Chains A and B, each alone.
Chain A
Amino acid sequence: EPEVTQTPSHQVTQMGQEVILRCVPISNHLYFYWYRQILGQKVEFLVSFYNNEISEKSEIFDDQFSVERPDGSNFTLKIRSTKLEDSAMYFCASSENRMGANVLTFGAGSRLTVL
Chain B
Amino acid sequence: DQQVKQNSPSLSVQEGRISILNCDYTNSMFDYFLWYKKYPAEGPTFLISISSIKDKNEDGRFTVFLNKSAKHLSLHIVPSQPGDSAVYFCAASGSGTYKYIFGTGTRLKVLA
Q: Which residues of A contact B45 (CB under 8 A)?
A: 106
Interface pair A91/B43, CB less than 8 Å apart: yes
Chain B positions 37-70 with a Cβ under 8 Å from a chain A Cβ: 41-46, 49, 51
Residues of A within 8 A of B85 (CB): none
- Could you say which of B91, B93, B98 contacts A50, with CB atoms under 8 Å apart? B98
- Residues 61-114 (chain A) with a chain B CB within 8 angstroms: 91, 93, 98-109
**Which of B13-21, B71-79, B100-108 contacts the other chain?**
B100-108
Q: Is A58 an interface residue (CB 8 A)?
A: yes
Contacting residues of chain A (33-82) with chain B, CB-CB under 8 angstroms:
33, 35, 41-45, 48, 50, 55-56, 58
How many positions in chain B have a CB within 8 Å of any CB in the partner chain? 24
Q: Is there an interface contact between A42 and B44, defined as CB atoms closer than 8 Å?
A: no
B99 touches A103 (CB 8 A): no
Determine whether the beta carbon of B43 is less than 8 Å from that of A4. yes
Which listed residue, B32, B42, B89, B103, touches A108 by the CB 8 Å rule?
Answer: B42
Does A43 contact B98, Cβ atoms closer than 8 Å? no
- Tell whether, in the assembled complex, residue A45 and residue B104 are in contact, meaning their CB atoms are under 8 Å apart: no
Q: Are A104 and B32 in contact (CB under 8 A)?
A: no
Interchain nearest-CB distance for A16 vs B (Å): 27
Shortest CB-to-CB span from A10 to chain B, Å, is 10
